[in-house]
Amino acid sequence: MAATLSLSGSPGLDPSSSSDQSVSSRSNNRSLRVAEKERKKNEAEDPFVLALKYFSDVEAGTPVHGNDEVEKNMVMVEKVAYMKGLSPEAISIMLEFAMSLRMGTTLCARVLKCLIPATVVPQEAVVRAVVWLGIGKIPISTRILFIKWVLTVFDMIDAKDQLRAIYGFIFSYVTEENLFPFICHLLYLLTRKESVRVFRVRKLLELQSRLGRQPFLLSLLSLYKVFCPELVTLSISSRIKSGFRNHNMPWKSALIAVQKRNGSQVATSISLASAIKTNPRKRKHCHLELPVLSSVVSKEAQTDPSSSRKVVPLVQLHSFAHILENMHRIELPAQMGSLLGSSLALQYLDCVQDESALLRLNFWLGHALHEEFLFCGDGGASQNSEEALQFLNTLLSTQHFLQEGFSCSEAFLYKFLSVWDGSLLRPQILGLLSNIPVVPSSQIRRLLFEPLMQLFFTSSLFFKCGLMECLNNMLLKWLTWHSVYALEDDLDISLNSHTSINMTLSRFKDSVMELVDFVGQLASLSLQLEGCHSLLLSFILDFYETVCDTFLKYGLPLVVMPTPGVFYPALFATDPVSVDRLAYIMYRYKVNLTSAKSQEKLTEVKAFHISRQTFREFNHYAVVMVNCLWNSNMFQPDMGVQLGEELLLKSNVPQYWTSFDLIHHPAFMSYAVDFHQRCWPERKDMDLNSIKHSKPWSWYLEYLFSQGYDGLKQFVQSNISRPLTAAGGHVDRQDDGHVDRQDNGHVDGQGDRQDNGQDDGLSTLQR
């Protein structure tokens, strides 16, 4: 309708256009009214509206204690207030309810604390409340709270004229000692030129002479002086900026949160902005804040000026060279926690090895961790996760810098693991966990494995992967410590001059063994649970890549074979990368075992003993792998995986014994097909078995190796002796089309196994 009207009217005619606007607005109004009605009907059942109604109607003198109804309604109002803020009407109702003390003083303060405006604060409500201030018996602390609230929401009050009209009334409160600073602030905000009167100036000057030059008073006086310099003869330094402190703490954060949620523009009020600028006071629990690097208040310097020893506070040092110059006279800071922020300081700490300095740091850090994550009942950690994240990241980078975990974070983790949900700050917690030093094997299960096991099996795949990575890092760090600190000539970890007792190698080995066994258990179970997920498998193989090299890389005479639960899923994995990595791991095992054996023979030291069982396990795995991949000879009776003959026949898989050789293995089948097509492009029907002939077989291997399967290459080269067909040109074709039966390289465990024909040869190659 509006559109047609405006079309009919000539564009130059203002009245018509204005009339159609009014028409359209009227129609809008009608629809608004309908909507309003609808809304009102809905609101009748809204518990919040009911709560407001309760507070506007409740009779004076209703008891509060034990009154469930008021409690329920109060909680309702608080919930809405902190969620969305209160509407102007709600503010009016609640403020009136509170200030009239209809239900006593305790509720009054509680209401004031939740008066968070969603949009604006109606001026009338504030004026009424100020009036109540004069007649009610409101306790002084609540009065202060009220004035603070007015100061906080001052810029959200919809008009100020009535407030200015009662300037004199407000001014009369300056005589109240406790209210005085806040009243001054409020007056400061309300003062106009016409409010400055001689009697007021006189009153303020009188107060000043009695109370001294209080900053808030000076600020107000200086404003008076700006308006009426002739009345205020006092000289006020121009340097005072603001004598008012921020009184808006109880509401500030809630207000900002509500406004953020509402997307309100009112947030950019001056008082809030200035409040943030001047002094963003820290939240109540600020244990995660690093202390400032500051020097100790030097007592000696005062009491003993003759002392020749001049100390240099750490805070004055700015370069590494500077540290080196002053190494002998550096003074540690007053609070060791401040070191965390400074790499220079950490460098110094690393050098001095001061026991009590470290202990101080540990106390501070442990306190922060405990308070933030363990003692806070209100889930404080989730509230300020950003801060917690930064803190833990700082801690982690410090630990990386020092290359050692702090004992307090270790103690903290043992407790935290039992309450952790596995997702809060996961990367950081796992990072800290991977830093913990060697745990004695007698304790490791209770402290570490039991809580971890619970978390592991109840968490997602990604947690499982994360934990695998973490345990791998932990093992790497343990092994690195070992390799750095164990002396070559001594199998025990060093006895230093100032240490009385040491951890013996065997105890260290026990711990490592426990860890590897534990990961083995987790790995085999989780592979079953997750259906041999290749991502998980990859993290598990990462771990075994560390395990297989313990002897050669880290000098720890310990070789632990993977459990069947890991070995077979990796061998039968559908992705070639896993098979390749398994082959690499087996190759490294062989190198390690071979080298351990030769060393064992050389030194004849008992501690070097690697159990026969390990050799046997390795040989077994090697046989299985060679039979599977190379000899097309699956399901040998001595294999770990056994299936009944009938069952295999029943499966109707032709030549089932070949199904996991390098050609038919699901991981490599696509390569075999590709190879077949390249090799014999003219052939129509594909016969993968033809690859098994000696010459194409070696070509096929070359082809696989060229695809980057180095692990496989190393495994084959170290375990299988083949006639070098390609090089030698000697083709040894057999009728059945199979390449010669190759055998695996056995690593012999002990010399006493000579009875079975395999002598001390470390790697027996058979054709």
Partner 1 sequence: MFKSVSGFCLLGPSPQDMERHHNSATRTPLNNVGVQRRSKSYRLSYRSCLGTAASRLGLTPALTARRLNTSRRALKPHGVAEKVDPEQLALLVKTEWQLSYVTPLHQFRHTQLKSYSRRLAAFIAAGKQQGLAVAVENPQTTFRVSFSLVEGMTESADDAETVLIQIHARPSFAGQDEPQRPAWSGWLTCVNGNPDYLRSLPKDFTCLPLFGSSGAEGLGALVKSWFQQSFDCCFGPLEVSHTSLQWLMALWTNCHTEASIQHLKMIWTLPAVPPLEVTYTVNPEDAWELWRSVRKQKENRGGGGEEEENCIDIEEVADFVQGLKSHFYRHFRLDLSAGSLNQVSTALGSAKHSGRMKISNSRYMTTTLTLLTESALLKMPI
Give CA separation, 497 vs 95, 345, 504, in Å: 74, 27, 16
Q: How far is the CB of 243 from partner 1 (least distance, A)?
A: 6
Q: Under the criterion CB under 8 A, does residue 9 sit at the interface with partner 1?
A: no
> Residue 44 or residue 211: which is nearer to partner 1 going by CB?
211
Block residue for tokens 């991977």: 434
Cα(379)–Cα(231) distance, integer angstroms: 56
Helix axes 407-416, 355-369, angle to 10 degrees: 30
State the DSSP code for 249: H
Q: Choose the binding region for partner 1 from 162-170, 224-232, 433-441, 514-522 (rule: CB under 8 A).
A: 433-441
Rule CB under 8 A: say whether 518 interacts with partner 1: no
Please, which residue, 432 or 582, has the CB nearer to partner 1? 432
Contact (CB, 8 A) for 445 and 514: yes
Site for partner 1 in 56-75 (CB under 8 A): 65-66, 68, 71-72, 75
Cβ 196 to partner 1 shortest distance, Å: 21
Q: Is 412 in the site for partner 1 (CB under 8 A)?
A: yes
Size of the site for partner 1 (CB under 8 A): 81
Can you tell me which of 308, 499, 642, 756 binds partner 1, judged by CB under 8 A?
Answer: 499
Using CB under 8 A as the binding rule, whether residue 426 contacts partner 1 is answered as: no
CB 622 within 8 A of CB 745: yes
Which range touches partner 1 (CB under 8 A), out of 16-24, 264-272, 365-373, 740-748? 365-373
User: Which 212-231 residues touch partner 1, going by CB under 8 A?
Assistant: 212-215, 218
Q: H/E element holding 396?
A: helix 385-402
Nearest CA-CA partner of 571 in 697, 667, 701, 670: 667
Confirm if 195 and 220 have CB atoms less than 8 A apart: no
**Which residues within the stretch 306-335 sit at the binding site for partner 1 (CB under 8 A)?**
334-335
Helix (H) or strand (E) holding 330: strand 330-331
- Nearest CB to partner 1, comparing residues 360 and 664: 360
By CB under 8 A, is residue 249 in contact with partner 1?
A: no
| 731 touches partner 1 (CB under 8 A) | no
Q: Is 514 in the site for partner 1 (CB under 8 A)?
A: no
Q: Does residue 417 belong to the site contacting partner 1 (CB under 8 A)?
A: no
Q: Would you state the structure tokens that stand for residue 600, as one six-digit string?
A: 């064992």
User: What token pair was written down for 646?
Assistant: 């009938």
Cβ(373)–Cβ(381) under 8 Å? Answer: yes
Judged by CB under 8 A, does residue 379 bind partner 1? no
The stretch among 84-92, 134-142, 369-377, 694-702 that binds partner 1 (CB under 8 A) is 369-377
- Burial of 621 (C-beta count, 10 Å sphere; 0-12/13-18/19+): buried
Q: Out of 33, 192, 375, 741, point to the residue binding partner 1 (CB under 8 A).
A: 375
87 three-state secondary structure: coil
User: Smallest gap, in angstroms, from Cβ of residue 584 to partner 1?
Assistant: 30
Site string for partner 1, 263-302 (x = CB under 8 A): ---------------xx-------x---x--x--x-x---
Shortest distance, position 362 Cβ to partner 1, whole Å: 5
Nearer to partner 1, 70 or 691 (CB): 70
Using the rule CB under 8 A, give the single segment among 187-195, 262-270, 439-447, 618-626 that binds partner 1: 439-447
Measured torsion, CA atoms of residues 514, 519, 524, 529, in degrees rounded to the nearest 10: 130
Residue 11 or 63 with smaller CB distance to partner 1: 63
Q: How far is the CB of 372 from partner 1 (least distance, A)?
A: 10
Q: Which is nearer to partner 1, 481 or 608 (CB)?
A: 481
Chain-centroid distance of CA 175 in Å reads 53
- Cα–Cα distance, 672 to 664 (Å, whole number): 8
Q: Which stretch binds partner 1 (CB under 8 A): 6-14, 362-370, 688-696, 733-741?
A: 362-370
In the structure encoding, which two tokens stand for residue 451, read together? 């809580």
Looking at the Cβ atoms of 283 and 738, the one nearer to partner 1 is 283
Q: What span, in angstroms and rounded, lies between the C-alpha atoms of 506 and 504?
A: 5
Judged by CB, which is closer to partner 1: 436, or 610? 436
Joined together, the tokens standing for residue 86 give 């209160």
Among 45, 161, 230, 355, binds partner 1 (CB under 8 A): 355
3-state helix, strand, coil in the chain (%, to 5): 65, 0, 35
Helix, strand or coil for residue 113? helix
* Residue 237 is a binding residue for partner 1 (CB under 8 A): yes
Q: With respect to partner 1, which residue has the nearer C-beta, 89 or 177? A: 177
Q: Give the separation between CA 122 and CA 148, rounded to whole angstroms.
A: 17
Binding of residue 172 to partner 1 (CB under 8 A)? no
By the rule CB under 8 A, 114 interacts with partner 1:
no
Q: Counting contacts by CB under 8 A, is residue 53 touching partner 1?
A: no
393 binds partner 1 (CB under 8 A): no
The residues, ordered by sequence, that sit 6+ positions from 178 with a Cβ below 8 Å of its Cβ are 140, 143, 144
Q: Which residues in the 449-488 window bind partner 1 by CB under 8 A?
A: 481, 484-485
Angle between helices 198-211 and 215-227 (to 10 degrees): 150
